[in-house]
Amino acid sequence: MVERFTNKFSGLKRITNYSSWFGLIALISIYYIQMGESITAYSMGIIIEQAVIVAIVATGAIFIFSFGQFDISLGAATAVAAMVSVITYNRTESIFLMLLASILVGVSIGVIESILAVLLNLPVFVLTVAMLSILSSLVRVLLGGQSSISIPSDAVAAFDNVPFKLFILICYFLLCFFIFNYTKVGRESKFLGANPIAAKQSGVSNKKITIIAFILVGIGVGLAGFLTVIRAPMLGQTTAASLGLDVLVAIVFGGMPLSGGARSKISAAVVGAFSIVLLNQVLLSFGFSSGQNQIAKAILFLFVVFVATINYRKKILPR
């Protein structure tokens, strides 16, 4: 009987699966109408500029979310990766080593976090709360009492352009997309999120998935750290501090279920990141002040989460 009903709506359901895409398209349309002729290559450029770092970290974070876990330390991890890359550049004057250092730091943080989670058998979320505070302190240590550390902006000027950043995003996205959809690990992580016990009884190793997911996120964090330095070569205590939250918001806006599972999709990260930047631009174009802007975004966020979680409060029908 349920089948008959679903059948009737399956076409509609297929369309609504892409509702976050519609949201993005709606935002693009409104932005276009609002801005009219003042949309230039510059406008498009800054949208990419502002979305790219969040999009990269969020893309990696989808892995962790897909098996129902939650990492709030990603912003701080990115800050640490960025700091280490600045220090590396100042010692070696090599962009390549700087990138390498950033990725190494990102991956190391991921490995440490995941191994601790697996060894201590702690919920990832709890662990990342502790990690957040450790990493924030580490940022302070790396600053060494100064208010900021920096590299000369000329050093990275050659990379400070939209095509390069877009290229990095696309490469990383493709890597994650590929692993998520075409490998055993990706499939297993989704299944793990959908039902951990059924996953275990199907031979899915929670530990293996956790470690691999954190390594993948680590690569993203490393790239994001590098791009953070390119975007603003001067880093301080609050660098990337809001990134952790932005990533979370982006993922939710992108249509990723917070509990992970079967409906997890990697595109949510990119759709969400661009949606937020566009939403911000649309609100600015309506002349909202920054305060009103924040409130409008927060309300929309709450609404999205509310709607997304209605599904958990299922109706109980007698059989």
Partner 1 sequence: MNKCLNKIGLLVFSLLLIGLLAACNGDSDPQTNGVDNGANEEQDQGPTQKIGVQIYDATDSELIAFRRYYQDYIEDNYNVEFLFSDSLDTAEAERTSTENFINQGVAAIISFSDSDRMSVIQMTEDAGVYYAIGAGTLSDEQLDMLSDNEYFVGSIGPSLAEEEEVGYDMAKHYIEQGYTNFLLYAGGYPFVDMHLMRTHGMIRALEEVGVTYNAREDGQIGTFESDEYTINTVYGFPDDSGAFFGTVAERVNEPGLEVILTAGLGVEFFGTALAQSGQDIRMGTVASFEDAYYEGFSAGQVDYLAGKFSSSIGPIFAAVYNAINGDMEVVRNNGNPFRIDQGYWIATNVDEFNEMYEMSNSTENPAYTKELLDMVIKSENPDTDYDNFESFVQSYSFDEITNLQD
Partner 2 sequence: MKEKIILEAIGIKKRFGETVALQGVDINLYRGEIRGLVGENGSGKSTFSSIIAGIQKSFKGELIYKGKPYLPSNMVEALQNGIGMIVQEKGTIQNVTVAENIFLGELNKYGRFGLLNKKELYNKANQALDNIGITNIRADDMIQNLNMQNRKLIEIAKVVFKNPDILVIDETSTALSYEGRQILYKIIEDFKSRDKSVVLISHDLDELIEKCDTLTVLRDGKLIKHLNKAEFEEDYIKQLLVGRELEGDYYRSDYNHEVSSEVVLKVENLNKENDLNGVNLDLHKGEILGIGGLSHCGMHTLGKVIFGFENAEEGHVSIQGTKIIDEKTAMKAGLGYVSKDRDHEALSLNSSIRENISIVGLDIIKKHNLIFSKHEKAYVKEQVDIFNIKAQSMEQYVSGLSGGNKQKVVFAKWMGRNSDILVLDCPTRGVDIGVKQAMYQLIIKLKNEGKSFILISEELSELTGLVDRLLIMKDGKITKEFFRDKELSESDIINYMI
Stretch in the footprint of partner 1 (CB under 8 A) among 11-19, 65-73, 170-178, 194-202: 11-19
Q: Which residue in 255, 304, 190, 249 sits closest to 72, CA to CA?
A: 249
* Smaller CB separation from partner 1, 291 or 318: 291
Q: How far is the CB of 202 from partner 2 (least distance, A)?
A: 5
For residue 27, the partner it binds in partner 2, partner 1, none, with Cβ less than 5 to 8 A by kind, is partner 1
Residue 50 sits in the site that holds partner 1 (CB under 8 A): yes
Which residue lies nearer to partner 1 by CB, 5 or 96? 5
- Residue 36: DSSP 8-state: G
**Share in percent of the chain as helix, strand, coil (round to 5):** 75, 0, 20
The residue type found at 140 is R
Give the interface with partner 2 as residue ranges (CB under 8 A). 1-8, 10, 181-184, 187-188, 190-191, 194-195, 197-205, 261-263, 317-319
Between CA 128 and CA 50 the distance in angstroms is 25
Using rule CB under 8 A, residue 304 touches partner 1: yes
CB nearer to partner 1: give 34 or 205.
34
Nearest to partner 2 of 5, 306 (CB atom): 5
For 236, the enclosing helix (H) or strand (E) is strand 234-236
Nearer to partner 1, 146 or 183 (CB): 146
Residue 218 CB-density burial (10 A; 0-12 exposed, 13-18 middle, 19+ buried) = buried
- Asked whether the beta carbons of 138 and 79 are under 8 A apart, the reply is no
Which residues touch 50 (CB under 8 Å, ≥6 apart)?
277, 280
Q: How far apart are the first and last CA of the chain?
A: 11
Q: How far apart are CA 50 and CA 52, in angstroms?
A: 6
Residue 111 or 288 having the CB closest to partner 1: 288
- 57 close to 220: Cβ distance less than 8 angstroms: yes
Contacts of partner 1 in 116-135 (CB under 8 A): none
Least distance in Å: CB of 174 to partner 2?
14
307 binds partner 1 (CB under 8 A): yes
Residue type, 172: Y
Draw the binding track, 211-240, toward partner 1 (x: CB under 8 A; -: no contact). -----------------x--xxxxxx-xxx
The separation between CA 287 and the C-alpha centre of its own chain, rounded to angstroms, equals 28
Q: Which residues bind partner 1 (CB under 8 A)?
A: 5-6, 9, 12-13, 16-17, 19, 22-23, 26-27, 30, 38, 42-43, 46, 49-50, 145-148, 150, 153, 228, 231-236, 238-241, 280-291, 296, 299-300, 303-304, 307-308, 310-311, 314-315
